[in-house]
Amino acid sequence: MSRIRPATLLPFVFVLAALAWPTCADRTAGGGAGASGRPHRLLLVTIDTLRADHLPWHGYPRPTAPWLAALTERSLVFETAASAASHTAPSHASMMTGLYPAQHGVLENGMSFGDDALPLAALLRDAGYRTGAFSSVSFLFGLDLGFDRFDAPEPIDEAAARAGEAFERYRSAARTVDEALRWLDAQGETGAFAWVHLFDVHEWMRDEPVAADLAAVGAPADDAHFRYLASTDAINPSMAPQGKATLLSAIDRYDAKILAVDREIRRLIEGADRAAPGRTTALITADHGEGLFAHGYEGHGRELYEEQVAVPLLVHATDGSLVGRTADLVRTVDVFPTLLEAAGVAVPTLLRSADPALGARSLLPYARDGGRGEPGRLAFAQRKPGYPGGMNVSIRGQRYKLIHRPEGKDAFYDLQADPSELRGHVGQDRDAFHRLRDVARRQLELQAAQAEGRAARPVDPRFATELEQLGYTK
């Protein structure tokens, strides 16, 4: 599925772009730029459903992503990154806008940006980049605003699926990367921004695992690996319906999928860089994690524990100009200002949040001075709408986290003492609890006011069968 969208940007955007050009001298801030100032290729790579703690550079003992692990030695690496939602489309829309889901309005898979949205692709296109999106599912088509080309599989035809005709639930990472590379190659000397969305990890439950990938990550999981999982407190065999064997088999399947995606990201970044070596900047992250029985569930969407919201985030410039590592809390809403700064484009004024620490900020200062002047951030996230109990949200700072349940009981965690969120209680940290709860409540009130008259469009029924096949029915 591909659609050309006419250039209907607001005059406001042209003003911003014009303001951006005189900052060329500043563009050394953006990496992968080479001699001409800004990156020739700007990539946003999102790995659907990839929780951070299954990656080697987050301490995982299996070689799930050997190429990316080596790349982290030459990249800007964030060890503590939080997504804005435990659900695919809202989380991606937050990366694209620097806003939280209730602010940009894309609350569910299949929804679309309203015409008043000002996403990353629109700003980059106006600054002279060609813009291409390569999604592995059709239901993200609603995020096409600003893309010259939006390439995704056709939605699954409901009648054909009912009639028993064969269909694909999603497009493999290999084929999505093929399409992205073909498009990047065709852009020649023109600057190009590509968003590449890879879905294989999401399908660990339904796809048959590849034997070679299982073997390469060390499957079947042995007692030593089980002891590691148990020692992190993130996993508990009593929570898997069929016990330890089911749990370990799930871990094996999930880890093997990460390896397959690691291979494709290597092909993408090396391929993108080949045409103009040293002029590609890639930001690699995930939209949310996966339960894997950590708190007694497998999937994602409903909960807001760290296995859901803690995601990998790294920025790699192929000229080696972006290097560093930090444990400071950052968020996927920071993707928006980071990629704009890398391209030398001014960041527009965003909708206000209840506390300045919630606002999106570029991550590139961490490459310049280790982020010494960076104020502490707060990370806010919400779950998928429609569950009983209302719209739960989470808010965390560097150490403390609150899961706020407007219709239930809040849970408060000291992530330093209890990183797996197993012993939620207020204890000695009453001030931190009150501060987080106050910010969460004010953010919910503010977002409700900001949502008045918002123009995001509802779920497109064309995607219903695909969403059902991918397990997104409530």
Distance of CA 191 to the CA centre of its chain: 23
> Least distance in Å: CB of 286 to Zn ion?
8
Evaluated on CA atoms 78, 87, 251, 465, the torsion sign reads: negative
Enter the DSSP assignment of 390. -
Segment contacting Zn ion by CB under 5 A, of 82-90, 163-171, 176-184, 209-217: 82-90
Residues 230-249 vs Zn ion: string with x where CB under 5 A? --------------------
The count of chain residues that interact with Zn ion, using the rule CB under 5 A, is: 3
Token couple for 53: 């703690």
Q: Which of 286, 212, 244 is nearest to 54 (CA)?
A: 286
The stretch near Zn ion (CB under 5 A) out of 40-48, 150-158, 243-251, 317-325 is: 40-48
Report in angstroms how near the CB of residue 173 gets to Zn ion at its nearest.
Answer: 14
User: What whole-number distance in Å separates Cα of residue 408 and Cα of residue 405?
Assistant: 5
Residue 42 Cβ, how far from Zn ion at the closest point, in Å?
A: 22
Least separation in angstroms between residue 294's CB and Zn ion is 17
CA separation for the pair 388, 407 (Å, rounded): 9
Least separation in angstroms between CB 197 and Zn ion: 9
- Which listed residue (17, 31, 47, 48) binds Zn ion by CB under 5 A? 48
C-alpha distances in Å from residue 217, one per residue of 222, 262, 474? 12, 12, 33
**Cα–Cα distance, 50 to 215 (Å, whole number):** 20
- Exposed / middle / buried, residue 455 (Cβ in 10 Å: 0-12, 13-18, 19+): exposed
Shortest Å, Cβ 50 to Zn ion: 9
Would you say 88 or 172 has its CB closer to Zn ion?
88
Strand order in the sheet with 324-331: 149-151, 130-134, 192-198, 41-47, 280-286, 310-317, 76-82, 324-331
Considering beta carbons, is residue 144 or 273 the nearer one to Zn ion? 144
Q: How many other CB atoms sit within 10 Å of the CB of residue 329?
A: 20
* Nearest residue (CB) to Zn ion, 81 versus 342: 81
Contact region with Zn ion (CB under 5 A), list: 44-52, 131-139, 240-248, 251-259: 44-52
> Within 285-344, which residues bind Zn ion (CB under 5 A)?
287
Distance spanning both ends of the chain, measured CA to CA: 27
Backbone φ, ψ for residue 73 (5° rounding): -65, -20
* Residue least distant from Zn ion (Cβ): 88
Q: Of 48 and 203, which CB lies nearer to Zn ion in the complex structure?
A: 48
User: Does 88 interact with Zn ion (rule: CB under 5 A)?
Assistant: yes
Subset of residues 208 to 227 that bind Zn ion, contact rule: CB under 5 A? none
Stretch that binds Zn ion, among 86-94, 210-218, 224-232, 253-261 (CB under 5 A): 86-94
Q: Which is nearer to Zn ion, 41 or 51 (CB)?
A: 51
One-letter amino acid for residue 322 of the chain = L
Burial of 236 (0-12, 13-18, 19+ CB in 10 A): middle
Closer to Zn ion by CB, 88 or 281: give it: 88
| Minimum separation from the CB atom of position 60 to Zn ion (A) | 20
CB of 109 to Zn ion, least distance (A): 8
> How far apart are CB 88 and Zn ion at their closest, in Å?
3
Choose the binding region for Zn ion from 9-17, 83-91, 360-368, 448-456 (rule: CB under 5 A): 83-91
Binding residues for Zn ion, per CB under 5 A? 48, 88, 287
